[in-house]
A and B are shown apart, each in its own frame.
Chain A
């Protein structure tokens, strides 16, 4: 078990800057998730940590070893590939034992560790089968087994759940988290799925275009995003972004159509003029009359059973509200929504979050 340090890591393929100047320190025993949209460089970064891709510049340290120029096998890491990378000509048992045998672990210990890993992942009953005789979910477990069976300093996962259907994915998320807390190793996990990032991570590293937009505990990123990109990436449905004007003097928020919210007690940014107001759907409720509220017209209603998502046109802009499943609203009707202003955020026109005081 060890910590991981990246210093100014850069990787370019010809003209493509896949990773630019990433610096990062991952504490020993942490579960860190690298997340970001497709093509942002997360796989490249993970593969650079694994040594499968050389870096153009920068340093990678695992524990107190500088591994920047070491071959993958010298880095003491284990990795789960998106494609699972199981050997079709070996049994499940031999697939899991592969890394131990490669490192010349004694036969008795191999057997003990393979059974331990198989128990952890409940795959003990098909150790004799071949990968082609397994379902996708089972293969995925074997792939994870192959990694955790080894005593590595660092465990890397490249979108391990992306080939599973939604139900299985939910189950595996829970198992991965349990696994991490039981074996207590350092995990670096890549995904493009913000739910996976939020649920799994001790710490999220959000990448965009090869740079870190923000990193920190999931709730920090969720509640105090540095910028519009982070705010929009995390959360589903995504945060609403309304163009508004804030007047610091009379503590009010003004919408384009003249609607006007008074925010006497709420914290507004110390800013006068145009800005973007970020409101999460869950912070909008049906108005009961005495809170600051906006008016709009209901466009679409999407009940999910437990909640109800309403798309509302407010001042010519689009606002999604997450309401009670039994909220009495109809498409085409006017609606009044109150907003928990204290829980909302404001961005300047360049997209950076404004301090609220």
Chain B
């Protein structure tokens, strides 16, 4: 290889990375720009790249009318259901791996639950929720998201826990830890990367849910995806509101993914190595 070729290769890679980054970041930039544009700028042609004077009126409207609550509702339902799914899922996965609960096939059966198209169960769940009075409640959505994420959490955590040498746990038990303490002091530190990666995905699944949020909420716990789609009217579309609401919805995701990036990458590659 000629000496200058490494330089070129580096430049090429860098260039490619920039192109890809721009491709992925552009929509977010565009949303941010729309949310700050004046109505004329939104429809201007040629397009306005940067609003002349940032216009915060859409944000003010969202907070004044209470539309921004939808983001809070999403945070609560996705956040709490993620915490619950991670706790129960990890304990269930531990039981499946170490106590062989359900033999060899339980884990497969559990993950198969995940393969049901949600629309198939939407109607029965709606009827059930009407019966139980869970329509338009936090409890209802949190329970549903927890249930829907559990198979995924169990499946992922099962894989990570299987990779822990059992000697590590047994050594800790001889040293004086109870089973629960072993899970806290040995299992969790060992699976930390996978645990957080799984939690992030679980959170995203709940955050992105549209179908159930649409049919199971009315006004009190409307979530962000439902709220934002409400702005696409049949007569008129409220672009600046869409932009502003999207920014409010994307921000928590960016914070979560940004802080957990290290774990997500490691967690996913752990899965890859294991096959």
Contacts and interface: CB of A to CB of B under 8 A. Distances in A.
Contact of B175 (A52, A89, A99): A99
A79 B165 CA distance: 16
Given A89-B189, A89-B190, A102-B181, A83 B167 contact: yes
Contact of A87 (B174, B178, B189): B189
A206 interface: no
Nearest to A53: B170
Interface string B131-173: 0000000000000000000000000000000000101101111
A73 B167 contact: no
Given A81-B167, A83-B167, A85-B168, A102 B189 contact: no
B186 interface: yes
A71 B167 contact: no
Contacts of A103: 175-176
Given A87-B186, A89-B190, A102 B171 contact: no
Contacts of A79: 171, 174
Given A83-B165, A87-B189, A98 B174 contact: no
B170 A52 contact: yes
A103 B173 CA distance: 11
A146 B172 CA distance: 11
B6 to A, nearest CB: 31
B177 interface: yes
Contact of A99 (B176, B189, B192): B176
B171 A73 contact: no
Interface string A130-150: 000000000000000010001
Nearest to A103: B176
A103 B177 CA distance: 8
A52 B174 contact: yes
Contacts of A52: 170, 173-174
A72 interface: yes
Contact of B176 (A50, A83, A102): A102
Nearest to B178: A73
Interface string B165-207: 1011011111111100100011001101000000000000000
Interface in A57-82: 71-73, 75, 77-79, 81-82
A148 B72 CA distance: 54
A52 B175 CA distance: 12
Nearest to A73: B176
A81 B165 CA distance: 12
B190 A81 contact: no
A81 B177 contact: no
Contacts of B176: 73, 99, 102-103
Contacts of B175: 73, 78, 98-99, 102-103, 146, 150
Contacts of B190: 87-89
Contacts of A85: 165, 167-168, 170-171
A interface majority secondary structure: loop
Contacts of A51: 174
Nearest to B171: A85
Given A85-B165, A85-B167, A102-B181, A72 B189 contact: no
A79 B178 CA distance: 16
A148 to B, nearest CB: 13
Contacts of A82: 167
B168 A77 contact: no
Contact of A71 (B168, B173, B186): B173
A72 B174 contact: yes
Nearest to A82: B167
A81 B176 CA distance: 15
B21 to A, nearest CB: 33
A51 B261 CA distance: 41
A13 to B, nearest CB: 14
B177 A102 contact: yes
B180 to A, nearest CB: 12
Contacts of A89: 189-190, 192
A73 B189 contact: no
Contacts of A75: 174
A188 B271 CA distance: 40
Nearest to A47: B170
Contacts of A72: 170, 173-174
A87 B170 contact: no
A146 B192 CA distance: 24
A73 B177 contact: yes
A77 to B, nearest CB: 6
B191 to A, nearest CB: 11
Nearest to A95: B171
- Which of A50, A52, A85, A88 is packed against the most chain B CB atoms within 10 Å? A85
A256 to B, nearest CB: 51
Contact of A73 (B168, B174, B185, B192): B174
20 contacts: A72-B173, A72-B174, A77-B174, A78-B175, A79-B171, A81-B171, A83-B167, A85-B168, A85-B170, A87-B190, A89-B190, A90-B189, A98-B175, A99-B176, A102-B172, A102-B175, A102-B177, A102-B181, A103-B175, A146-B175
Given A51-B174, A73-B174, A99-B175, 17 more contacts: A50-B170, A52-B173, A71-B178, A72-B170, A73-B175, A78-B175, A79-B171, A79-B174, A81-B167, A81-B170, A81-B171, A83-B167, A85-B165, A87-B186, A89-B189, A102-B172, A103-B175
Interface of B: 165, 167-168, 170-178, 181, 185-186, 189-190, 192
Instruction: List the 5 closest pairs (A to B, CB-CB), nearest first.
Output: A99-B175, A85-B171, A102-B176, A85-B167, A73-B176
